[in-house]
Chains A and B, each alone.
Chain A
């Protein structure tokens, strides 16, 4: 069984707002000294793939990314977690692509890699939160597509999935090949690379493909362009509700809110 996990390297989404800066002229975030991490949902997807591998004979898990210099680190980490192979789609042509262009490039990468049974993606990336690349790859490759899944099993060539729905969980089955987007749950928290894993990873070769390797001859159009990027100001003038003790403060808070006529 061939599994490909698409991963993206992003700025650590946990950086506090005070360390977060943007370059308004370039319409870009200034990375500063913030850490680069594998998009958390993609790390969950890696974990789901590696769990599948534990229960399958002849299963190869390939981590695939598209990105610049920083992305190699994400692939090394994926290999250290236990992925068998890594593919890096790397070309200046791929810089600044939108979801549509990204999906086109990744779909070409997946095709070049060969027949695939299962493609896993995080449900969305924690930087732009678009949630589009996975379903777009499914369309590019004419694969069945199931979103917000947190657990996967393969039985008799069929994929059994558990996914989040509004008020609970849905259990469903789909045929392979398929593309599944992964959400976080207690069952798919990413494993830490072991010391042995890190050593093995350093010996594995990362396959690098450029635009010509993928048959992409011209820069892809952007269907969505950034007109402006700003930092919103959520800060508000806070009124402190005071009183001689806790109960007095509690009562005053209730009175203040009722006086604002915002309840009911």
Chain B
């Protein structure tokens, strides 16, 4: 029976956080319509993840395992996803909005002659079909979008969906899909990959984000922010002005043109709150603003505000957190 198919991204041998969230969303959709949730598990040496996917909410796992899939080549992965879609015949296909799998969505939509909505925050069921909610105009507006084709494709923004509560006793049916991909030439050749050595928690997945802006005045201040982030097991973010000033690499940029985050707590330290920044963090559960300027736009969207030069606040904030959190 056609149902919902989720694209799974495997990172370091496990389903990525975004994949679990998308499975959670699929589970909620399926529970309203009484359908099954399928997961597409594609890659080299990935079959060990099958049970994990069941535990996170999949009823069926479509497995395509091939050494040629060890490197991500979109055109080869596309062929595999096309074959899985032909086998599973889903009416809805959900992708986590994270690289590299999100790259497949538009091209797969084309090949399936299906409409796609990218970067969705949520869905609603209307007349038995899902409609998707997507932020547009840098988060200044929300659009409710309906896909008119028989198959609906969507990519889902990270941290907008709760994963299904893990249940290790769940069992999923396994369907092996053997795609004939040996003769497909690669579209591109990877020459080199320069990865930043990073032990830090990924910005998009962090439950706590500590961000700094123009008001910090220089790169040294980010040391303090890193200290605070470390105590709270969080990640460090930055506004575009801080990145443009060269105080911190662009991989830390939060905003419409940077990373989009929705942590449990977002610290906006010396950030005024330009609309393109708010587009990247407006969905945070709790926003804490520390700023000298009570009129800064960030104050309008903050839950907690401290009107003060951050230099006077941060040391005591860090000390107090260490004291309380180390005790408990």
Contacts and interface: CB of A to CB of B under 8 A. Distances in A.
The answer to whether A and B assemble together is yes
B15 interface: no
Contacts of A229: 136, 141-144
A112 B23 CA distance: 43
Interface string A19-44: 01010000001000000000011000
A135 interface: yes
B70 interface: no
B109 interface: yes
A132 B116 contact: yes
B217 interface: no
B304 A257 contact: yes
B219 interface: no
B107 A139 contact: yes
B173 interface: no
A218 interface: no
Contacts, number: 262
B221 to A, nearest CB: 15
Nearest to A160: B191
A229 to B, nearest CB: 5
A240 B307 contact: yes
A40 B146 contact: no
19 contacts: A11-B137, A29-B141, A129-B256, A136-B107, A145-B107, A145-B187, A165-B195, A166-B99, A221-B148, A224-B148, A227-B126, A235-B301, A241-B305, A246-B308, A250-B315, A253-B290, A253-B317, A253-B320, A264-B232
Contacts of B139: 232, 234
Given A224-B148, A255-B324, A16 B141 contact: no
- Most chain B beta carbons < 10 A, residue from A29, A127, A223, A249: A223
A258 B275 contact: no
B107 A135 contact: yes
B109 A132 contact: yes
A139 B112 CA distance: 12
Contacts of A226: 143-145
A132 B118 contact: yes
A171 B311 CA distance: 41
B268 to A, nearest CB: 12
Contact of B313 (A247, A255, A256, A263): A247
B187 A40 contact: no
Nearest to B102: A131
Contact of A234 (B274, B278, B313): B278
A70 interface: no
A227 B189 contact: no
Nearest to A231: B141
Given A165-B99, A167-B196, A247-B316, A98 B308 contact: no
B114 interface: yes
Interface residues of A, number: 83
B115 A223 contact: yes
Contacts of B141: 20, 22, 29, 229-232
B193 A165 contact: yes
A174 interface: yes
A174 B274 contact: no
Contact of A16 (B264, B275, B303): B275
Contact of A129 (B100, B115, B135): B135
A171 B190 contact: yes
Interface string A233-264: 01111111100011111110111111010111
Interface string B284-328: 011111100000010111111111110111111111110011000
A113 interface: no
Contact of B193 (A40, A130, A168): A168
A174 B265 contact: no
Given A13-B276, A232-B282, 16 more contacts: A14-B275, A17-B140, A20-B275, A22-B141, A100-B110, A129-B118, A129-B136, A136-B110, A168-B196, A174-B189, A236-B302, A248-B316, A250-B319, A253-B306, A253-B317, A263-B265
Contact of B191 (A171, A250, A255): A171
A173 interface: yes
Given A13-B138, A13-B276, A126-B256, A249 B306 contact: yes
A138 interface: yes
B324 to A, nearest CB: 5
Contacts of A258: 321, 324-325
